[in-house]
Structure 1
C-alpha cells in the first residue's frame, strides 16, 4: 500500500507547451534565411535544450528559464532567424504559469486518499503560479530548483522523500516522461506509473511498473 504519490506536473496534470513550441518553430522558420523545416528547427531546439540538463547540477545548476533562453538563442542563431529570443520565451513562460488542466486531473486528486506531492523539472515561481492559476493544492512541492538537479537524477526524488519523511517503497511516482519520470524514479528505488495518454509503444530500455492512459486508472492503487 502506498503512503503518498509523487506527481510530475507538466504533461501529467496539466498540458505541455507543445502547441506553443510548434507556433514558435513556425515563427523561426518564417524569419529564417536558411532552408529548413519546422521539424528540423524543433529537433535542433530540443537537442540544444536537453543537452543543458545533464551538466546543470549542484553548483553548476541553471534554472529552466535560463536554459530555455540559451537554447532559443542558439536555435535562432543557427537558423539565421531575426526572431527575438526573449519575446519567444515569454510565450512559453506565460504557458508555464497558466497551463490548462487535463480533464482527469481534478477527479483524480479528489478521489485519492494519499497525499499528492509534486516532483517537477521546473522553476519554483512558475509551478507555484500554475498551481494557483488552476486552484490546486499539494502536500509538498519539490522542484529542480530546490534540489539543484533535474530528473532523471535521483537527487530530486531523494529530496522529496526526505521532506515527506517517506521511504522509496512508500511511494508511487506518476509521470508522462519515460526518461525523466520512470527511469528517474527507478534511479531512486521508487515504483513508477507511466501516464501514456497518446498510447505510445513502450521501448525495451524502460519498463514502467504501471502503464495507464488516464490518471483515474490509478485511483484503486492510491485508496487506503
Structure 2
C-alpha cells in the first residue's frame, strides 16, 4: 500500500469554475461584439493557456494575475464594455468557496495514509477553500510555492522534497489527464484519474468515477 496520497483540488475534491466561466462568457456576449458565443471561451482559454505554460521560475505569475490578464484581453478582443475586475472577482469568489463533491469529506476521513493537496492555485485562495469546507489535509503544496504549474514537474518535485517521500511511495489523484496524470507520471508518481463523466479511458491509465472508488485500486491493498 502507498505511504501517502497527493491529491488535486479543483475538479477533484471540489467543483471547477465552469459555471462561473459560463456566466462571465454570457456577460461578455451581452456587452460585446460576438458572432458565436463559443468563440469567447475558446479565445479566453487560449490566452490563459499561453500565459500559464510560460509562467514558471523567474517568469512565474499567480493564478489570479493570469486569469485577470487573460480575461482583460478577452474583453478587449470582443469589444466588451464589461469590467474585468468585477468579472474576475466572481471567479475568485468561487475559488475560495467552491461547491464540494459529496464524497470528498468522507474520502479525507477514511484515508488510511496522509493526504497532501497538490494544486495549481494560489496559496491564500486554496487555504480559504479548505477552511470553508473543514478539510484537514496533512499539507498543502501550491503552484505559488513551487513557482511552477502542473503538468511541469517542479510542483510534484517540491511536494516530494517537502514530505521526504519518494515517488514510489505516493499515488496522485486528479481529474486532469494532462496536468495530473501525465504530470505525476513525469516524475515517476503513479496516478489515478477521476473520470466523473465516464470518458474513454486511455490504455494504461488507472481510472475511477469518484474518490471513494480509489480505495478499490491496487494502491490501497
- Give the TM bin, normalised by the shorter chain: over 0.9
Question: CA contact under 8 A between 2:108 and 2:137: conserved in structure 1?
Answer: no
| Structure 2 gap segments, 5+ residues each | none
Q: Which residue of 1 aligns with 2:42?
A: 43
Separation in 1 of the partners of 2:44 and 2:54? Answer: 17
Q: Which residue of 2 aligns with 1:177?
A: 176
1:123-202 residue pairs with structure 2 within 5 A? Answer: 123-202=122-201
Separation in 2 of the partners of 1:161 and 1:143? Answer: 13
Question: CA contact under 8 A between 1:114 and 1:223: conserved in structure 2?
Answer: no
Separation in 1 of the partners of 2:54 and 2:202? Answer: 25
Give 1:33 shift. Answer: 2.3
| 1:91 is aligned to 2:90 | yes
The alignment's TM-score, normalised by the length of structure 2, stands at: 0.96
| 1:219 is aligned to 2:215 | yes
Q: Deviations over 1:166-196 (max 9, x none)?
A: 0000000000000000010011110010000
Q: Deviations over 1:36-86 (max 9, x none)?
A: 32x110111111111111110101100000000000011111111001111
Question: CA contact under 8 A between 2:195 and 2:207: conserved in structure 1?
Answer: yes
Separation in 2 of the partners of 1:18 and 1:40? Answer: 16
SS of aligned partner of 2:116: strand
Q: Which residue of 2 aligns with 1:32?
A: 32
Separation in 2 of the partners of 1:114 and 1:220? Answer: 15
Separation in 2 of the partners of 1:34 and 1:108? Answer: 43
Question: CA contact under 8 A between 1:111 and 1:219: conserved in structure 2?
Answer: no
Q: Which residue of 2 aligns with 1:9?
A: 9
Deviates more, 1:101-110 or 1:171-180: 101-110
Q: Paired residues, what number?
A: 220
Q: Deviations over 1:16-47 (max 9, x none)?
A: 1111100000000000123232x110111111
Separation in 1 of the partners of 2:128 and 2:106? Answer: 21
Separation in 1 of the partners of 2:187 and 2:30? Answer: 44
| Structure 1 gap segments, 5+ residues each | none
Q: Which residue of 1 aligns with 2:116?
A: 117
The alignment's TM-score, normalised by the length of structure 1, stands at: 0.95
